[in-house]
Amino acid sequence: MAAARLAAALLLLAAQVACEFGLLHVVSQSGGIRGRDYCILYNSQWAHLPRDLSKVSLLKLRDLSSTQLCSYLDLPVEDLTNQIALVARGNCTFYEKVRLAQGSGAHALLIVSKEKLVPPGGNKTQYEEISIPVALLSHRDLQDIFRRFGRAVMVALYAPSEPVMDYNMVIIFIMAVGTVALGGYWAGSRDVKKYMKHKRDDGPEKQEDEAVDVTPVMICVFVVMCCVMLVLLYYFYDHLVYVIIGIFCLASSTGLYSCLAPCVRKLPFCTCRIPDNNLPYFHKRPQARMLLLALFCVAVTVVWGVFRNEDQWAWVLQDVLGIVFCLYMLKTIRLPTFKACTLLLLVLFIYDVFFVFITPFLTKSGNSIMVEVATGPSNSSTHEKLPMVLKVPRLNTSPLSLCDRPFSLLGFGDILVPATHNFGDSVPPGLLVAYCHRFDIQVQSSRIYFVACTIAYGLGLLVTFVALVLMQRGQPALLYLVPCTLMTSCTVALWRRELGAFWTGSGFAKDVPQTSWAPAEGPAPPMDSDAPLSQQPAGEDLAKRPLPTEEAGLPEEAGVADSAGDRHSPMASTSSPTDGDQVQPSSVLQPGTSA
């Protein structure tokens, strides 16, 4: 039974269609007109095409496009020796057509199709019987050939090699590392600022959204959802791809608004608010400039949604929306400890390697589920692509650019969580970089953790690119990025003897005990200059004092910043008595006492 299953699997693997692009070089028999290349689609399992045009002989194109070559009656009276036969698609299999052409002496078979080009497939036995190339040519290209060169033409079929390395990888590298560095720096600075502020409501415009702390339970649920969604996309791609596109539009418009809002709030115009109303969201009376910003963000995503398949410029808009989406996710989702970072990265490491390297042994086609979903299944009727990638067109000139504008892809997972071509991994090493930045500010380390982790991410991405070039197949980037980022962060923490605090994330401003102080009825006790500012009467009284609206933010923030800095700076103990002299404990009234 096991042997039968193995044989069936090998048959299915051998029967899968190897779809490749090639070129048809056309010149006129009379000469005088420069030759031109046209795109063809062929299956190398029938026969391979030569790589170099200079080593290929030009042969006469025999126009039989008025027939479909499905029977011996369709063959011409004269044989097809040293000619390339051109026939119409339809009514019979590719094997029947090529068998008749090969029996008549044809050197190759071109099949004209008015429909979308599909790879000419067959089975293992048929592949072994046929020894001439079989390729499909679009009907539109055939009309162009006859219009330019006439019907008396000489042709040659070849398939040039693609460049191994493309300069667009440099652009992708800069975008990825820049997004990780900027997002990690922004998220870390924002979290530390929130730690240093007292919790108070300054109105709808000044109130910031709270970050979401990732817990181990959330990590498990997240990974399970990624697995389920990836498998569902593999089997129901044509239906779910539009759901993913809709989610991307919503999330990217929100991210664009979040990134542009701080800049727009600094503009001096359109500061008026809308009138009082009871409408959802509008009852908060947002400023007119913020409404205009929201409309602009929605308009940008709508433009991308309408023209998303336009290869000339839509990729630029998709990359911009993708970067702001990543920045928004880095700002919103927060890993509170290095333990959480390690757990998430290791779980996703297993997830990524499994779906790239293990699933080819479990699928009937022998293809990786992750790569198949990220690049779009070849049998998809919608021909839509998942937008959760940064894409840059190839910069090296290649003749095969006639067939399709090739793009290099980098999944958002490689930025948020490093996972090649994966849409679902929306969390570290950007969040790990953000965590390192927060810890840098906590221990006042001149951002050594942040810089080291960012450099480690860049080196890991370079190793991923090298592996991609050498192996010529999709790579799970977590395989290279997890060791680079985690080992570098751990090494820095061990070198600075801070691994315990780095692992638990302890010591931030929110962890400082805020003990209340009430004076006794007797004489006030002497102040301890070595105690933290938050535990001294002066600091507590200063925080309770009402401040003017315009000046409340800076003094209070400075006070809390000092309390956070006491724990590490030797200068804090000398500045505390000075602050205490400014406000006396006797100014605080308790019930039953008199001033």
Indicate which residues carry an active-site annotation.
352, 414
C-alpha dihedral (121, 39, 394, 429), degrees to nearest 10: -20
DSSP lists the bridge partners of residue 61 as: 84
> What is the number of residues in the chain?
595
C-alpha dist (Å) from residue 577 to 528, 544, 562: 8, 18, 13
Element (H, E) at 194: helix 168-195
Helix ranges restricted to H, 285-414: 288-306, 314-332, 338-353, 369-375
Query: Distance between CA 575 and CA 536 in Å, rounded?
Result: 12
Tokens representing residue 36 in the block: 């031109």
Q: How far is CA 526 from CA 185, 265, 270, 531, in A?
A: 42, 47, 54, 12
By DSSP bridging, strand 134-138 and strand 36-43 are: antiparallel
Q: Which two tokens stand for residue 216?
A: 């181990």
44 DSSP 8-state letter: T
The alpha carbon of residue 438 and the mean position of all alpha carbons in its chain are separated, in whole angstroms, by: 24
Q: Residue 269 is inside which H or E element, if any?
A: none
Cα gap 220→567, rounded to integer Å: 35
Dihedral sign (CA 141, 146, 151, 153): negative
DSSP H or E run through 175: helix 168-195
Cβ contact 343:220 at 8 Å = no
Q: Please answer whether residues 498 and 443 qualify as being in contact, where contact means their C-beta atoms are separated by less than 8 angstroms.
A: yes
Distances 331 to 42, 180, 304, 475 between C-alpha atoms, Å? 47, 11, 24, 27
Q: CA of 47: how far to CAs of 61, 119, 257, in Å?
A: 19, 13, 54
Structure tokens at 103: 């029996």
Distance of CA 280 to the CA centre of its chain: 33
Helix H or strand E segment including 157: strand 153-158
SS3 at position 135: strand
In the chain, count H helices and then E strands: 18, 11
**What's the rounded Cα separation, in Å, for the pair 197 and 462?**
39
